[in-house]
Amino acid sequence: MQRILIVGATSAIAEATARLFACRGDALFLAGRSIERLQAIAEDLKVRGAKLADTFVHDARDFERIPALLRTAIEHLGGLDAALIAHGTLSDQTACQSSVEQLREDFDVNALSVMALCTNLANQLESQGHGVIAVISSVAGDRGRRSNYVYASAKAAVTAFTSGLRQRLYPLGIRVVTIKPGLVSTPMTATFKKGALWAMPASVAADIVRAMDSGKAVIYTPWFWRPIMWIIRSAPETLFRRLRL
């Protein structure tokens, strides 16, 4: 049995991942903004076999409340083996490029809050000498595009941060997993036109669980995004800036 904290637990990917943890009898502590959604998900997870499914109302932008979140999670779980950081928003690129205030808000949610959580988690796991930190970044962070460069920049920051954190914690036996989903059909992307490259949350969740169990460093999910992003990263800047992506 694993004792797992999930932050952003009401997101579609996090919920699908929690269901897989529940089915094998893990103990879960769920953090998110909506108490109603958290409680509904917790009850469902208990029915599916979770050893424990407790909740904690948390706004990712409330950095000062992070120690209380971790302390409460550890108390309820009786320890901490792993954490999945899954919160985030899909940036409104037009709003962000028109408003510095909106730009900062998006970075607080999608980058700085993740870094703050990782910092607190890293210090906790370092003190106990074991554990896994899994963080959902995005393929978008591999290269900025005109249609979403604010979101991409935040995810790029998360990817770089978790890379450095992984190097710091590796000698201590603590694993940091960077998860890079591609296009996923969730409520957040409900208005997007879907195509062959879109994945469902359940398939992404299965990849996340495998990566956390194995301690793999970086995963693209589904797998085909790795070669796709290699091509995008490799495109010369003189060509890339002319593309309408």
Angstrom distance (rounded) from CA 38 to CA 113 = 20
Nearest Cα to 31, choosing from 22, 18, 44? 18
From the candidates 149, 151, 170, 220, give the one annotated as an active-site residue: 151
Please give the structure tokens belonging to residue 130.
């074991």
SS3 175: strand
Angstrom distance (rounded) from CA 17 to CA 56 = 18
Residue 238's contacts (CB-CB under 8 Å, 6 or more residues apart) are none
Nearest Cα to 7, choosing from 84, 102, 110? 84
Please give the structure tokens belonging to residue 168.
């710091």
Local structure of residue 111 (DSSP, 8 states)? I
Residue 151 bears catalytic tag: yes
Peptide bond into 236 cis (omega under 30): no
Angstrom distance (rounded) from CA 77 to CA 52 = 8
Task: Enumerate the active-site residues.
Answer: 151
